[in-house]
């Protein structure tokens, strides 16, 4: 209960003051996110949206697939320009995502997924990212937005995970 209130207070402060998001590159924050993931069960219900919990975990894994796997084609030409111009800021700033917002095609998960497998993959991705550390991501080229600062990478990672974990009440 106290953790829920603390999370709600954090989100309220960030919405109101545009405060920096917690640093996912620290063990403390990564471990907090993993603890929230471990509260999920295969039957946890969404508070909004269309995905079930296994699909949400698979959806969150796409962020890391774009970085660590050569699984998704990179946008080119005008599409990359539009993404950098119109989408990037909404993804890498501190402002929380709105509920039931639009999703890029690579992130659409409509098929059924294995909850335990996706959960393990996501925890492994978070752990790998934290262990690589923020210096690894400094000015690293993103899949769709060009080079990002450490803060932009942090916001991209943390904001997306926090949004979907909150969607499932953890």
pLDDT, position 84: 79
pTM for the full model? 0.86
- For residue 10, what pLDDT band results from cuts at 50, 70 and 90? low
Going 16 to 35 to 104 to 23, the CA torsion angle's sign is positive
Asked if pLDDT for residue 2 goes beyond 50, the answer is: no
Highest average pLDDT, of 50-54, 82-86, 141-145, comes from: 50-54
Question: Mean per-residue pLDDT for 45-74?
Answer: 94
């Amino acid at each position: 209960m106290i953790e829920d209130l603390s999370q709600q207070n954090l989100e309220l402060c960030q919405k109101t003051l545009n405060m920096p998001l917690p640093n996912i590159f620290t063990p403390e924050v990564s471990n907090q996110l993993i603890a929230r993931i471990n509260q999920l069960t295969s039957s946890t219900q969404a508070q909004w949206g269309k995905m079930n919990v296994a699909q949400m975990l698979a959806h969150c894994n796409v962020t890391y697939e774009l970085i660590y796997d050569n699984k998704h084609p990179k946008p080119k030409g005008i599409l990359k320009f539009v993404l950098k111009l119109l989408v990037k800021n909404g993804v890498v700033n501190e402002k929380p995502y709105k509920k039931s917002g639009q999703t890029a095609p690579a992130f659409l998960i409509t098929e059924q997924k294995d909850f335990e497998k996706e959960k393990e993959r996501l925890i492994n991705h978070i752990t790998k990212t934290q262990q690589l550390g923020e210096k690894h991501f400094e000015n690293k080229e993103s899949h769709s937005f060009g080079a990002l600062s450490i803060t932009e990478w942090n916001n991209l990672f943390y904001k997306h995970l926090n949004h979907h974990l909150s969607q499932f009440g953890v």
